[in-house]
Structures are given as structure tokens and as C-alpha cells.
Amino acid sequence: MSDVMNTARVALVGNPNSGKTALFNALTGSRQKVANYPGVTVERKEGSVTTPAGCRALILDLPGTYSLRARSPDEMVTRDVVLGQLEGEAPPDVLVCVADATNLRLVLRLVMELKQVGRPLVLVLNMFDIAERQGIRIDLEGLGQALDVPVVTTVAVRKRGLDALLHEVDRFAGQTAGSITWHQPSAGEIRAAHLAAERILKTHVKPPLRPDTFTGKLDGLLLHPVAGTLILFAILFLMFQAVFTWAGPAMDLIDASFSQIGEWVGAALPEGLLYSFIVDGIIAGVGSVVIFLPQILILFFFIILLEDFGYMARAAFLMDKMMGVAGLHGRAFIPLLSSFACAIPGIMSARVIDNKRDRLTTILVAPLTTCSARIPVYTLIIAAFIPPREVYGMSLQGLVMLGLYGAGISSALIVAFIIRRILWRSASEPFLIELPAYKTPDAWNVLRGVWQRGQIFLQRAGTTIFAMMVLIWVLATFPYAPVAATEPAINYSFAGMIGHAMLPIFAPIGFNWEMSVALIPGMAAREVAVGALGTVYSIAGENEAGLAATLAAKWSLASALAFLAWYVFAPQCMATLGVVKRETGSWFWMWVMFFYMTGLAYIAALITYRTALAFGAG
């Protein structure tokens, strides 16, 4: 094989929930990277593998699709990559269509479309062990002949069948690629393809001898309108209780570690500017954010586990009616749930919604759900002002955290209702979703996902958060106080000047100047507000007992509650606003989001502060 052919581009295409990403992980292992496609914010996963013949194959994991007649942005990217129409992307050398072996009805039409592209095609029947266990009888040879494509069976989670797939890649990789021949099919061609797919399915795939009664029985419970909804809320309740209770020991260990590091470094440095920069600026600032890593990992663990199990689609189905009352599409539940981790993937996942107005409404309200960047702020204020006691055997702090998440969800639904009634009144499209079979989560896939999210958080701590801590330290340190100063030195710094200048705006909602100045770096990443408070109070010499204790002594309960209310509706970080601009293709909607969320945050903080004062919480 020539050097030119030594690298083959292999694209994994398939319906959602076909195990495509599991196959990608099995093939590439740790040799993978995640980025975005050129010019768009659709996530791009690629990795490499060496085939038995020594060929280096570049594996592309494309977004799930049912057809090359793309409707959503995700499907458009898959279509453009397959057809070689995406700028800066060469067309793939080999197409691998990944199918759920237990559900071949929809994928056969996709296979027929992919055949027309004019590229070598391999059909992979994944989760073949489940099909065998259910007694589904598939005539592999006959199916391959009917479709005129090689058929390979795999069990991706157990790495079975990979060699057979790579053998097919070797067989096709050296072939000279022809030109792309696909065209948009007519209505008649679509009907003909549908009938052909039904005929092939009836001839070569026999119904299961042992139907999957487990999935049916479990769905009878989990999809029940009353019991299923109660189970869903119980799962969410468990998640937020775990965020507080399970993470406690690890958080204490991280807190003690950073305190010890600060003492060691401080003992080796003389008092002065360098000491303040390293101990008060870097260690105290970054440490006050990294401490929340265990809580973020626990949250992601639950989300990834439920997704692997196959429960997420059921949750979306259960929430469809509630979403519909608010004017949201049923598929909006997935972006809203994704936004619990971070608003950016939540906004990006709105691409699965076909209707443009439904998608735009979801994008505008997704950031109102409580993302993981708010966890450090919530946890700090709750630890400082909510006593760690139990109420009916449940953590009071966990209940308050659950209430904050509930406030975020409720506000998203209310705002969506208002948007749909004011901006556009057209009815949402009917909600159709394919429910995958339940699968035992792959422990390695779950751990890898949690590890990757932890890495992303720590990278933010090492880049964005570190840079913001340095900036805050500079602002809080310079210029020095005059010789005859009678107030704390930090009051004469740039941070003090900025905070006091902002005070007339934020005093009506109960914010002091330290709280006001912490909002500015919070625009870079909202968890930075915690680090900013840690740095400001550390430089002011008021943080020896820990940041939570300092806030409990310096803030009133009314101000603390107002700060929490602000962060329920807090304007998004700059990265999120940038993604909104790119996803909507408009500066207008980005600014609409910024100003409406800022207004909501101010009004919510004002009402909370005044109400708390009225009840004597000053």
C-alpha cells in the first residue's frame, strides 16, 4: 500500500442510540481528541487506530442521524462530512454505518442513502449479543447480499468484532475513491426506498423468539405518568443530595491540602509582595474554586450513568407534557438537563430540535438551568449561612441546593412560556423519540466521561481561573494605601475603587463593594466569583478562618440570599454568550439573552433582599 493510502479516513454514521460512540471508544481507546468542526460548534470526535494490515485509520464519530436529508444542525454536519461539503474537511475514504442489531427498521433506509454516496460502505450490527439473547434471527449473508454491502457484527462495550471491522477497512482503504454521487431524493424515491427496506427486513430479519420483556416491564413503571414522574424527581433529588453528602470528605481533603500548601509556601517566603501574590492571590484564589471539583464529578457521574443506561430518552418522554405547557418541544429536556453540567453543551445539544423557533426558545432559556459553574457559589453561601443539620433524615443544605435547582428549572419554563406567547405563537411540532433498549452502563465509558469533565474543569482552573485570580490580585493590591491612610489598604486599591463606584447600583439589592467587584471576573467564568471573594478577603486579612466563616461574619443573611438569587438568573459567562452568537448566527439574540438575564437577576435579588429584610433577616 502506498504512503498516500497509509492513512484512511473512516466515518462512523448511524441512528442515535445505536452504540456508535461506544464503538468509537472501543476502536480508539485513549487515542482520541474532542474539538469542534471548522466554522460550527458541533462537537467533533476523532481518534486513530492501526488496522491488522498496518494502515493508520482516522476514525470520525459523526452526530447521529436518520437520513442524509438533514433537518437539524447536527444532521447537517453529518451530511456535509459524508458528502465532502464541509469546508476544510476531505470526504471519508470508508463509511461505517453502525446499527442497533435489535432495531434495524430505520437504519436500512439510511444504508440505502449511504450506498448512493459512492464511497465504500460497511454495515456494523452492534449490540449483537442482545439481539441473540432476544432470539432475533438475522440472515447476515442474505442481508449483505440484499444491501450489496459487507455486514459485520460487534459488541462494542466488550470489544468484540473489532478485528472483522478493521479487516473490512483494510480491504477498502487502498481503493481509489470515486466521486460523490448522492442527490436529494424525490418523494417517489423515498417511498420506494421505504418499501425496499421493509421488504429486506421482512425477508432477512425474523422477530425475536424471546422478546425483551425486561424493557417492557421496566418501561411500564418508568414511563407511568404518575409513578414514572415520581421516580424521575426521586432520581434528581438523589443527585443533589449526593452532590453535598458524598463530596464532603473529598472537599475537606482538598481544602486542607491547599491550606497546607499555603502554609508551606508562606513559611518559605518573606512577608511582602511575592508572598501576597503566591499565597493570597494564586493559592487562596485557585484553591477556593478547585475545592468544588468533587461535587462537579458526582453530578457528571449521574448524568453519564443515566445516559448510558438508556434513561435519558425516557426522562425526555416523561417531561414532554410539562415542556409542552411551557411552549417547549419535548426534546428540549435533553438540552436543559445537559445545561446542569454546563450551559455550552446544553445550548449546542439544542441542535437535535428541528424547528428553528423551538430551537431558539430552548437556547434562550437553557442557561437558566443551574450549571456546574454555579455550584461553587451555591455551596459557599449555603455552607456559610445554612446550618448542616438534618430535616426528616435529609440534609437541609442539600434541600436548599435542590430548591435552587428547582428555581432555575421553573424560571426556564416560565421564560419559555412568555417567549412563545410574545415572540411567536405557532404550535410546537409533535414530539417523536425512539426509546433505546436498556443497557448495562459501561464502567470504563462512565469513568472516562467523568475524567474528561474533571480535566476540563481543572484546565479552566489552570487557565481562565488562574488568569482571573492574577487580575483580581493586581486590582486588589495596587495602588498602595497612602502613608496616612485610616482605612484598610484594599479600600484604596483599584478593586476598592471599582467596587465602591458600582455600589450605588448594587446597594439597593444588598450587595457590598466586595460582592459587586466579584461579579466582574464572574463574567469570564462564574465560579471565579468565589475565587475573587477569596482573594479580596485574603488580601484584606479577613480570611484566616476560611472564606465561608468570613462571609458569615461580614454579610447579612438578607445579602447572602440576594446573592444566591442573583446567581440563579446570573448573566452568562463570555464563552456561553459566544456560543449563543454562533448557534443563532446573530449578535441580536446574544444581547437579548444578556440583557434579559441581567434584568431578571437584578429584580430577583431586589425582591429577595427586601423580603428577607421584612422578615428580620438583616
Q: Which of 330, 337, 15 is nearest to 197 (CA)?
A: 15
What lies within 8 Å, CB to CB, of 133 at 6+ separation is 210
Give the pLDDT confidence score for residue 39 in this predicted structure.
44
SS3 assignment, position 546: coil
Q: Does residue 1 have a pLDDT over 50?
A: no
pLDDT of residue 302: 84
Q: Assess whether pLDDT exceeds 70 at residue 458.
A: yes
- What proportion of the chain, given as a percentage, has pLDDT over 70? 87
What are 153's strand-pairing partners?
125
Largest CA distance in the chain: 94
Strand pairing of 94-100 and 121-126? parallel
Q: What span, in angstroms and rounded, lies between the C-alpha atoms of 577 and 299?
A: 23
Q: What is the pLDDT of residues 113-130, one digit of tens each?
A: 999 898 899 999 999 998
Integer CA distances (angstroms), 485 to 71, 141, 479, 489, in order:
66, 89, 12, 8
Contact between residue 330 and residue 319 where contact means Cβ atoms under 8 Å apart = yes
Asked if the model's pLDDT at residue 587 lies above 90, the reply is no
Q: What percent of the chain has pLDDT over 90?
A: 21
Q: Residue 90: pLDDT above 90?
A: no
Question: Look-up: residue for cell 472516562?
Answer: 448
In whole angstroms, give the CA distance from residue 530 to residue 536.
10
CATH code given to domain 4-211:
3.40.50.300
What average pLDDT is seen over the chain? Answer: 82
Residue pair 516/502 in contact (Cβ under 8 Å)? The answer is yes
The answer on pLDDT for 583 being more than 60 is yes
- Determine which of 239-243, 270-274, 414-418, 611-615 has the lowest per-residue pLDDT on average: 239-243
Q: Would you state the pLDDT for residue 482?
A: 82
Highest-scoring range by mean pLDDT, 61-70, 141-150, 245-254, 439-448? 141-150
DSSP letter assigned to residue 226: T
Give residues with Cβ within 8 angstroms of 408, minimum separation 6.
368, 369, 370, 568
Give the pLDDT mean for 477-502: 79
Residue 133 neighbours by CB distance under 10 Å: 13
- Residue 138: is its pLDDT beyond 80? yes
Of the ranges 335-339, 363-367, 411-415, 591-595, which one carries the lowest mean pLDDT score? 335-339
State the Cα–Cα distance between residues 428 and 355, nearest whole angstrom: 8
Residue 156 has pLDDT above 80, yes or no: yes
User: In this predicted model, what pLDDT tens digit does every residue of 557-574 receive, in sequence order?
Assistant: 999 999 999 999 886 677
Q: pTM of the prediction?
A: 0.63
Average of pLDDT values for 214-230? 84
Backbone angles phi, psi at 263, to 5 degrees: -70, -45
- The pLDDT value recorded for residue 396 is 84
For the chain, the structural domain boundaries read: 4-211
CA distances from 24 to 18, 304, 308, 358, 421 (A): 12, 16, 15, 31, 43
Give the pLDDT confidence score for residue 203 in this predicted structure: 94
Q: How far apart are CA 359 and CA 584, in angstroms?
A: 9
| Residue 440 scores a pLDDT above 90 | no
Select the more confidently predicted residue: 303 or 610.
610
pLDDT at residue 318 above 70? Answer: yes
pLDDT per residue as tens digits for the range 11-58: 999 988 788 888 998 898 866 555 444 444 456 788 899 988 888 899
